[in-house]
Amino acid sequence: MEVIIQPNHHQIASIAANIIRDAILKKPNLVLGLATGSTPIELYKILVRMHRDDGLDFSDVTTFNLDEYVGIPLDHPQSYHTFMAHHFFDHVNIPKANQHIPQNISDNHEEFCASYEEKIVCAGGIDIQILGIGTDGHIGFNEVSSSLASRTRIVTLSQSTLEANAIHFNCDVNAVPQMALTMGIATIMEAKKCLLLACGTSKSQAIAKAIEGPITSMVPASILQMHPNTVTIIDEAASSMLSEVEYYNRSYANMLSL
């Protein structure tokens, strides 16, 4: 795993945006896996700027979001549909038909989950999957103890996730939906490249466990150690519990000088 440590959030987002821009220039029909949460917001801002100011063309790009709450309407201010429209989709030229976000309106979740997986396969698979990380090491809404072989499915959110996400629901933990639809861990692992982004000391323990700890369903992000092409881009605060910082920095410096 490549680990890139940067001084601040903006630099993390810039590196991720440059990777995505270069990939779109090389393959205009790129398939992007998208994440929500506060971490990727700056990345979306930069991509929007690249579209607006430099003409980066998303017209052939297809996207698949990681997850969505179950039990709130799609147009709820805190739904991930609303989040994506607000931070990204309303500002770039990705055709509506190419934008995929798990739906929370279907009665038949199993059928929906199977069809979501099928759509990813039909699109040729995800080229680049953007990932954030929960303070407990979850990715998407794959909570602690999720099967490392899990596929897209409906899940119950952990107490730690409900508490972390309460900030978006007027700090009322009871207002946070209890359930969500999420791509599975095995689904995420099929992406050709993963970009794991994290910033702040609140993520330092999860990052240390995910990158340097044992691979375990108790830290779902630790499975990325088995992914052949994951780039973890984090700030110094999030890197503060890693033991191999000197090596990661030297390795990145050598990569830049190639």
User: Any contact of residue 67 with ligand GLP (CB under 6 A)?
Assistant: yes
Closest approach, Cβ 35 to ligand GLP, in A, equals 5
Closest approach, Cβ 254 to ligand GLP, in A, equals 29
| Torsion region of 115: left, alpha or beta (phi above 0 gives left; psi -120 to 50 gives alpha) | alpha
User: Any contact of residue 38 with ligand GLP (CB under 6 A)?
Assistant: yes
Q: Using CA atoms of 73, 195, 218, 65 in order, give the dihedral in degrees to the nearest 10.
A: 20
Stretch that binds ligand GLP, among 12-20, 94-102, 131-139, 212-220 (CB under 6 A): 131-139
User: Any contact of residue 33 with ligand GLP (CB under 6 A)?
Assistant: no
| CA 31/CA 94 separation, integer angstroms | 11
User: Any contact of residue 235 with ligand GLP (CB under 6 A)?
Assistant: no
First-to-last CA distance in the chain?
18
Per-residue buried b or exposed e for 26-51, using 16+ beta carbons within 10 Å of the residue's own CB? eeeebbbbbbbbebbebbbbbbbebb
Binding mask 166-205 for ligand GLP (x = CB under 6 A): ----------------------------------------
3-state class (DSSP) for residue 227: coil
Which of 6, 39, 99, 150: binder of ligand GLP (CB under 6 A)?
A: 39
Residues engaged in binding ligand GLP (CB under 6 A): 35-39, 66-67, 132-134, 140-141, 161
